[in-house]
Amino acid sequence: MFYINPAINTKNKFDLENFLQFTDGWYCPTNSALIDFIKTIKRSGTYIVSEEGRPDLTSYKLFDDVQYWWILMLYNDVISVEDWTNGLSITVPLLSDLETLYFNLNFYSKTRGI
């Protein structure tokens, strides 16, 4: 059986709101450089979504952290969580490139005022 341990304190540096502009109570991904950068991440392989059937659980299974769920969805052009079903074949980004992406986006947002 697969469980998420809520006692683990993770760093939320990949929280979506760190990269998207907040306007009128909504985050708009089209106002972010994030989408352009996401597609530049190298792939580490493929994975078939199995019994977990949810992007947050897949993120935990692949990276030992749930915070990458939305990156997995953007990286694989999956728009709805309902499309994240058992048997779905996804491409997995390199974790080291995700770290590099984070630092690049921080720099980019500071220099561009995003």
Residue 61: the pLDDT is 92
Residue 43 pairs with which residues in a beta bridge? 93
**pTM of the entire structure?**
0.66
Of the pLDDT bands very low, low, confident and very high (cuts 50, 70, 90), residue 65 is confident
Portion of the chain with pLDDT greater than 70, in percent: 60
The domain segmentation of the chain, as residue ranges, is 33-96
Give the largest Cα separation in the chain, rounded.
46
- Which has more pLDDT, 27 or 72? 72
Residue 1: the pLDDT is 44
3-state secondary structure of 91: strand
Q: How is residue 45 written in tokens? A: 């392989």
Residue with the two structure tokens 């708009």: 28
**Number of residues that make up the chain:** 114
E strand or H helix that includes residue 92: strand 89-93
Instruction: Write out the DSSP string of 13-77.
Output: TT-GGGTSEEETTEEEGGG-THHHHHTTSPEEEEEE--TT-SHHHHHHHHHS-GGGHHHHHHHTT
Q: How many other β-carbons are positioned within 10 Å of the β-carbon of residue 58?
A: 23
Give the mean pLDDT of 71-83. Answer: 90
